[in-house]
């Protein structure tokens, strides 16, 4: 039987494997720019498939792959663009306080071709991360209310990125993508959103870095208090619009995302605490290595 506790346990196990994988690939004879793909396919996707097989739920049921209607695709693309704008705003604000480790990684990828950018930044996470977060983990929250399931999925997805800058916007994106899967009944909705957001980022970064492979993001992203307040205001408006679109869309499908029958089971347990511990420890290690968090 699916339980939130199992989902949290699976998340902890796979996150731990991801950390181990990040160490292991450092000893492999591969180019640094391919490390992310090797980690995600080898230490995320493979464990996710194994856990799905052993969880007592069929792989087909775990990943819920069903074709999307054209109207749903259009709505998802619209939500993706709004979510990308919101994520950009949140990232810019958080960069005033925390280091952007993703930007540092992109400086290593700077000389890649467009296809390499799309494969590493868009295709890989859209498949591997969604298999874990909106597949294995979210499926175990089947008997929890939609709101609890989405918020917890967002929280875990935020920690999954292992740095404070990405945590905040990944949390929001995780919540949105969880709702998409709940509303459409298929993981393809979150895969499409994840690919769209990261694909746009991949193309834009490839275009920008053709002439400037290495970019000092911190130097180019300094904001004064007025700009931060304006960005925060725009972000709140986008978040409200997203909430309205998602709620209205759910109603057209006769899905009440606020009152799904649930079992009152606890969603915050020892496995979540252990995952938070991993997140904090990894962040401290990053700080000790680079003097930034």
More confident site: 181 or 1 = 181
In eight-state DSSP terms, residue 121 is I
Q: What pLDDT, in 10s, does the model give residues 46-66?
A: 999 999 998 888 888 889 899
* pLDDT score at 1: 82
The arithmetic mean of pLDDT across residues 200-214, rounded, is: 85
Q: Model pTM?
A: 0.94
What token pair was written down for 84? 């990308």
Q: What pLDDT, in 10s, does the model give residues 69-122?
A: 999 999 999 999 999 999 999 999 998 888 888 877 787 777 889 999 999 999
* pLDDT score at 215: 65
Q: What pLDDT, in 10s, does the model give residues 15-39?
A: 999 999 999 998 999 888 899 999 9
Closest CA to 267 of 185, 156, 179: 156
Closest CA to 175 of 207, 133, 231, 238: 133
pLDDT above 60 for 150: yes
For residue 151, count other CB atoms closer than 10 A to its CB.
17
What token pair was written down for 182? 């709940």
pLDDT above 90 for 204: yes
Closest CA to 100 of 18, 200, 167, 35: 167
Least confident of 93-97, 257-261, 263-267, 274-278: 257-261
More confident site: 214 or 179 = 179
User: Is the Cβ–Cβ distance between 144 and 187 less than 8 Å?
Assistant: no
Domain boundaries, the chain: 4-290
* pLDDT score at 250: 93
Positive or negative torsion for Cα 271, 277, 278, 279? positive
User: Is the Cβ–Cβ distance between 140 and 10 less than 8 Å?
Assistant: yes
Average confidence score pLDDT of the chain? 90
What token pair was written down for 138? 């979210």
Taking the C-alpha atoms of residue 30 and residue 38, their distance in angstroms, rounded to an integer, is 9
Burial 194-219 (b: 16+ CB within 10 A, else e): bbbbbbebbeebbeebeeeeeeebee
In eight-state DSSP terms, residue 68 is P
């Amino acid at each position: 039987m699916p339980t939130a506790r199992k989902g949290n346990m699976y998340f902890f196990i796979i996150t731990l494997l991801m950390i181990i994988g990040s160490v292991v690939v450092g000893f492999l004879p591969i180019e640094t720019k391919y490390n992310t793909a090797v980690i995600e396919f080898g230490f995320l996707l493979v464990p996710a498939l194994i856990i799905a097989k052993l969880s007592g739920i069929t792989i087909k049921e775990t990943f819920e792959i069903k074709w999307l209607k054209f109207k749903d695709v259009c709505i998802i693309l619209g939500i993706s663009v709004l979510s990308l704008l919101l994520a950009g705003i949140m990232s810019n604000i958080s960069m005033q306080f925390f280091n952007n480790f993703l930007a540092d990684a992109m400086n290593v990828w700077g000389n890649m071709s467009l296809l390499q950018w799309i494969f590493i930044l868009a295709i890989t996470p859209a498949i591997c991360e969604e298999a874990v977060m909106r597949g294995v983990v979210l499926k175990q929250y089947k008997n929890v209310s939609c709101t609890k399931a989405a918020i917890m999925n967002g929280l875990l997805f935020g920690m999954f990125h292992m740095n404070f800058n990405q945590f905040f916007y990944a949390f929001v994106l995780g919540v949105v993508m969880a709702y998409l899967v709940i509303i459409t009944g298929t993981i393809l909705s979150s895969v499409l959103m994840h690919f769209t957001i990261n694909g746009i980022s991949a193309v834009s970064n490839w275009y920008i870095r053709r002439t400037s492979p290495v970019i000092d993001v911190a130097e180019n992203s300094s904001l004064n208090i007025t700009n931060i307040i304006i960005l925060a205001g725009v972000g709140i408006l986008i978040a409200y619009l997203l909430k309205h679109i998602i709620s209205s869309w759910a109603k057209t499908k006769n899905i009440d995302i606020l009152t799904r029958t649930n079992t009152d089971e606890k969603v915050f347990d020892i496995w979540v605490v252990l995952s938070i511990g991993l997140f904090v420890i990894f962040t401290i290690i990053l700080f000790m290595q680079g003097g930034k968090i």
